[in-house]
């Protein structure tokens, strides 16, 4: 099976003539269709809000598309808060979900009026000492421990994760926070990553909704919102069936009416913090084949590397590859598609069946719209690539320029020969 790129070979060659490869390309039309579907799927809940996980794709041009639809921003660091603030997200448009948090980041979150989501019970005192008070609205992250298994067999291990509070700690945290003046409470949990199933959110919701009823009954805290966080994934492999967000939203609605409404909690808002689902399929890495090598295996060398997309190198993650213009050719060649880092794990594909690839061919590496460019780095002096937005009208807009050697050397301004470095072409 194949995935179809959202741009034709002719479009890609025209963009590459303007912005040299490698670059990340994003599909505005696809992003808009997806956020509209997300909004419609949870329209039954008047307080619903998607807080886009900024870490997934921290580009203001893309964030502002989501902001047009009322999305907030989920931030994990002070710099992400600064970026979201620059996009016009202020106050409760911001959700600050962090861990091992520096005091300065908590101070900035408070200054911007963000909803702070505490990762640990000890952070209550740390936050109060840092900002001098406990906010009226506060959230706590929950970790139930053990294994979390979905009915269709997908399993993850929250008990091995560094995030969140135990059940006992969560109840105690609510009591402490309430005694310190907090008035509105949220519950947050992330128990499975990249689930390709419509069951995850409804089953997580049932756990959190039942927990919320107990918390309100036993602590007297007013539960204002429940944050289902992320975890709704995308089909990286073409043989996977994509999630249907409308089915997911309806599943959460049924559990809401089964658990929360009878408990008199029908005013609880539902929040989500999706990154991968919101952006992943609507970005791709465009790279050009520049070398071929015939030794014990057949290799195609491209001008991108793990510094542009590190998921295959660090996770062994699958990303589908299309050879532009050869979509209908037989996949009768077996290649390792590799980058130029001095590391043997710098491989986008291993033993992958692909059409014959010639030097100069453009390769589309799919599903890089989340955790793609954002995880880039500068090992081997590799420079981060440009980001380009394919607009709805077919035009291409540069939304982040490619790095230059001057960017790489910019933090060496304490080096005596700094000027010599930045002036070299």
Active site residues: 342
- Under 8 Å between Cβ of 144 and 138: no
Provide the angle, in degrees to the nearest 10, between the axes of the packed helices 245-259 and 28-41: 20
C-alpha to C-alpha distance for 21 and 55, rounded to whole angstroms: 24
The backbone region for 67, taken as left when phi is positive above 0, alpha when psi lies in -120 to 50, beta otherwise, is alpha
Q: How many CB atoms lie within 10 A of CB 124?
A: 19
DSSP per-residue string spanning 373-411: GGG---GGGPPPPEEEEE-TTS-EEEEEPPP-HHHHHGG
Residue with tokens 């050397």: 409
3-class SS at 301? Answer: strand
Residue with tokens 């050719």: 329
Residues 6+ apart with CB under 8 A from 77: 98, 105
- Tell me how far apart the 2 most distant CA atoms of the chain are, in Å: 71
d(CA 115, CA 67): 17
CB atoms closer than 10 angstroms to residue 181: 11
- Report the 10 Å Cβ neighbour count for 91: 10
Quote the radius of gyration of the chain (alpha carbons, Å).
23
Tracing tokens 């003539």 back to the chain, one arrives at 17
Three-state secondary-structure class, residue 37: helix
Per-position DSSP letters for 111-147, written without gaps between them = HHTPEEEESSTTHHHHHHHHHSS--SEEEEEB---S-
Q: Alpha-carbon distance 254 to 198, whole Å?
A: 13
Pairing relationship of beta strands 23-27 and 347-354 according to DSSP bridges: unpaired
């Amino acid at each position: 099976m194949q995935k179809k790129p959202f741009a034709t070979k002719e479009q890609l060659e025209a963009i590459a003539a303007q912005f040299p490869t490698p670059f990340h390309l994003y599909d505005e039309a696809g992003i808009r269709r997806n956020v509209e579907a997300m909004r419609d799927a949870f329209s039954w809940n008047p307080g619903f809000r998607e807080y886009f996980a900024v870490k997934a794709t921290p580009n203001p041009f893309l964030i502002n598309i989501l902001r047009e639809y009322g999305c907030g921003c989920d931030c994990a660091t002070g710099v992400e808060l600064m970026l979201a603030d620059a996009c016009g997200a202020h106050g409760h448009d911001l959700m600050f979900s962090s861990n091992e948090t520096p005091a300065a980041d908590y101070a900035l979150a408070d200054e911007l009026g963000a909803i702070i989501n505490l990762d640990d019970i000890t952070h209550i005192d740390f936050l109060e000492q840092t900002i001098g008070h406990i906010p009226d609205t506060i959230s706590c992250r929950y970790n139930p421990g053990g294994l979390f298994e979905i009915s269709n067999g997908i399993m993850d291990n929250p008990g091995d994760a560094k995030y969140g509070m135990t059940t006992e700690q969560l109840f105690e945290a609510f009591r402490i926070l309430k005694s310190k003046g907090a008035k509105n409470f949220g519950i947050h949990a992330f128990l499975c990553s990249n689930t390709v199933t419509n069951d995850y959110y409804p089953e997580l919701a049932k756990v959190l909704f039942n927990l919320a009823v107990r918390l309100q009954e036993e602590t007297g805290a007013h539960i204002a919102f429940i944050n289902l966080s992320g975890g709704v994934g995308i089909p990286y492999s073409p043989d996977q069936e994509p999630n249907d967000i409308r089915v997911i939203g309806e599943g959460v609605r049924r559990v809401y009416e089964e658990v929360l409404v009878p408990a008199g909690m029908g005013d609880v808002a539902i929040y989500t913090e999706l990154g991968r689902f919101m952006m992943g399929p609507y970005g791709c890495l465009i790279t050009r084949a520049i070398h071929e090598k015939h030794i014990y295996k057949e290799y195609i060398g491209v001008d991108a590397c793990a510094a542009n997309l590190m998921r295959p190198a660090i996770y062994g993650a699958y990303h589908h590859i299309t050879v532009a213009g050869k979509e209908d050719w037989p996949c009768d060649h077996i290649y390792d598609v590799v980058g130029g880092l001095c590391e043997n794990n710098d491989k986008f594909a291993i033993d992958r069946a692909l059409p014959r690839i010639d030097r100069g061919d453009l390769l589309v590496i799919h599903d890089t719209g989340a955790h793609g460019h954002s995880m880039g780095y500068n090992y081997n002096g590799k420079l981060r690539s440009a980001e380009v937005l394919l607009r709805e009208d077919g035009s291409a807009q540069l939304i982040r320029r490619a790095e230059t050697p001057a960017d790489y050397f910019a933090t060496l301004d304490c080096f005596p020969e700094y000027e010599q470095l930045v002036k070299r072409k």
